[in-house]
Structure 1
Amino acid sequence: MPDFQQPRLEGEQLEARYAFAKRVALEAAQRAMEFYTRRSSLIVEHKGSDLQDVVSIADQEVEAFIRGELARHFPDDGIVGEEGGSDGLQARCIWVIDPIDGTACFLNGLHNWCVSIGLLVDGEPLLGAVADPNHDELFHGFIGRGAFVNDTPLQAHGASHVGEGLVGVGTTHRPGHEHFLPFLHALLDGGGQFVRNGSGALMTAYVAAGRLIGYYETHLKSWDCLAGLVLVREAGGRGNDFLRGDGLLGGNPYLVAAPGVYDQLAAMIGASLDAP
């Protein structure tokens, strides 16, 4: 009988993509930083009717750079990008990229923004790189090989109660925001505290690094967290089934947390976390 299984991706092919993700994330972050230093002169546009959902020429040009590098090195791979849409989703390898995660912070002179590059292989997150040029930090990880910030291994927080650390939070004007305030009330009543920095990719990386004990967003897009999901998993953290249904293109509610507080946070969120 013929073997109809797809050929196995060799280790060197995946290793090349890991090296690529780290290099291109750093280079893209430096390109973004050049725009950041002259942000007051950038043309800013709004996406649809939401005045808080903004994009600039910096987002567009940085994503164009990443897409160009992908076309040169891995032309058969698929891609999902915040600004340029999706292509090649039938491919085994699909890159999920956010050229500037935290654009509102970027445009307002806040340091909470980064470049996020993640890779799905056969539908599963395999590797990711999150570059934060303001703090000279590159968070990166590969399933089965660990996660790091620069060269330092990442480890999720050892908290066993929400009162033992800070929880990152976020929401938008998209459906689901009605669950945000009830969660905050439950968190505060349970002895917890929260922060919001405007970048889902960074807050996810901070969970992996043990800086936050958890991060909840009422609705997140895949380009904001795909790379970070790898970091959290490799650092010993937990996350909900974010990619279920149309998660890759449409997004979903999102929770990542230290293993000792995940269930407590999930209970505070309730059934909306994993609703279809």
Structure 2
Amino acid sequence: MTMHEAGLDQRFALAQSIAEEAGALALDYFNKRDTLVIETKRDPQDVVSIADRNVETLIRERVAARFPADGFLGEEFGHVDGTSGYTWAVDPIDGTAPFVNGLPTWCVSIAVLHGGVPVIGVIHVPCDGEIYASAAGRGASLNGAKLNLDPSRTIQNAITGIGCNNYVAPERVGQIIAALLAMGGNFIRNGSGALMLAYVAAGRLVGYYEPHMRAWDCMAGYCLVKEAGGDYLTFPTEGEALLEGHPVLASNRSVYGDLLALHG
């Protein structure tokens, strides 16, 4: 085993254990959110912000304790450069709108990049008791069961995830959905881009497209899709580009060209 392989396996094991611990903390906030709003006299959005920050702090502390030379990019506290060649990209709670409104479609997303490429992707969905895990050359799994994408799934006989946010003009979202429907497809949006990418890896969705996402939202899902046998649109990671929003597209190999047409 090379030093890189050993380092990858050590970080993969750590990412999975951290995802479990972070998911448990986030779930505790989720289950207590109404009480916390009443007790603190805060807006529900404030409560999820507190949960976001505390979950990310937990993840940062666990990584720093084990791999202090690794870089870290998180949604809440930004980017810290490292010297090891590895960078963690983390969204402590992806899907804050579902979280605030009592829906189960939110997750903890943890990725590790090496050479700008996602080589580890772990997504924990606490409400469903699901852990998606992947590492480069080691495949993808859901609660330990191996994931392999089915090439017979198409735009027409499966569901495609579509994402949108304030960075995307409403008219553009309408165009994307209209084009997908014109292809004979159908769409879903559950409020968490990271989770919809995990669903692509699991074959629940045939593909996912969002015109603007951040690295902490998509890198774990990208690794999962790749290791399950799918393809994804390259996300720029050089310098400041890593901190900016870019189009995100992932699918099984049969559908990739169709989704690129939506993007085009």
State the TM-score, normalizing by the size of structure 1.
0.88
Equivalent residue pairs, number: 257
Measure, in 2, the Cα distance between the counterparts of 1:244 and 1:68. Answer: 24
Runs (4 or more) in structure 1 with deviation over 6 Å come to none
Alignment match of 1:56 (pick from 30, 49, 52): 49
Q: Given that residues 140 and 148 in structure 1 are in contact (C-alpha distance below 8 angstroms), is that contact kept between their aligned partners in structure 2?
A: yes
Alignment match of 1:200 (pick from 193, 199, 207): 193
Measure, in 1, the Cα distance between the counterparts of 2:88 and 2:43. Answer: 26
Alignment match of 2:243 (pick from 240, 249, 261): 249
Alignment match of 2:32 (pick from 30, 38, 56): 38
Stretches of structure 2 lacking an aligned partner (at least 5 in a row): none
**Correspondence for 1:155:** 148
Q: Please tell me whether residue 15 in structure 1 is matched to residue 14 in structure 2.
A: no
Cα shift at 1:10? 3.5
Query: Residue 163 of structure 1: SS of its match in structure 2?
Result: coil
Measure, in 2, the Cα distance between the counterparts of 1:151 and 1:112. Answer: 20
Cα shift at 1:13? 2.0
Query: Residue 76 of structure 2: SS of its match in structure 1?
Result: coil
Counterparts of 1:49-128 in structure 2, within 5 Å, are: 55-89=48-82, 91-128=84-121
Aligned pair in 2 of structure 1 residues 14, 269: CA closer, same or farther (>3 Å)? closer
State the TM-score, normalizing by the size of structure 2.
0.91
**Correspondence for 1:232:** 225
Stretches of structure 1 lacking an aligned partner (at least 5 in a row): 1-7, 48-53, 271-276
- 1:205-233 residue CA offsets vs partner (Å, 9 max, x unmatched): 11011100010112011111111111100
RMSD (CA atoms) = 1.9
Measure, in 1, the Cα distance between the counterparts of 2:71 and 2:211. Answer: 27
- 1:69-93 residue CA offsets vs partner (Å, 9 max, x unmatched): 1111111100000001000155411
Measure, in 1, the Cα distance between the counterparts of 2:112 and 2:170. Answer: 28
Q: Given that residues 44 and 57 in structure 1 are in contact (C-alpha distance below 8 angstroms), is that contact kept between their aligned partners in structure 2?
A: no
Amino acid of the residue matched to residue 261 of structure 2? Answer: A
Amino acid of the residue matched to residue 226 of structure 1? Answer: M
Q: Please tell me whether residue 29 in structure 1 is matched to residue 10 in structure 2.
A: no
Give the number of the structure whose residues are more often helix, by fraction: 2
**Comparing 15-24 and 159-168, the one that deviates more:** 159-168
Query: Residue 98 of structure 1: SS of its match in structure 2?
Result: strand
Cα shift at 1:179? 2.5
Q: Given that residues 159 and 213 in structure 1 are in contact (C-alpha distance below 8 angstroms), is that contact kept between their aligned partners in structure 2?
A: no
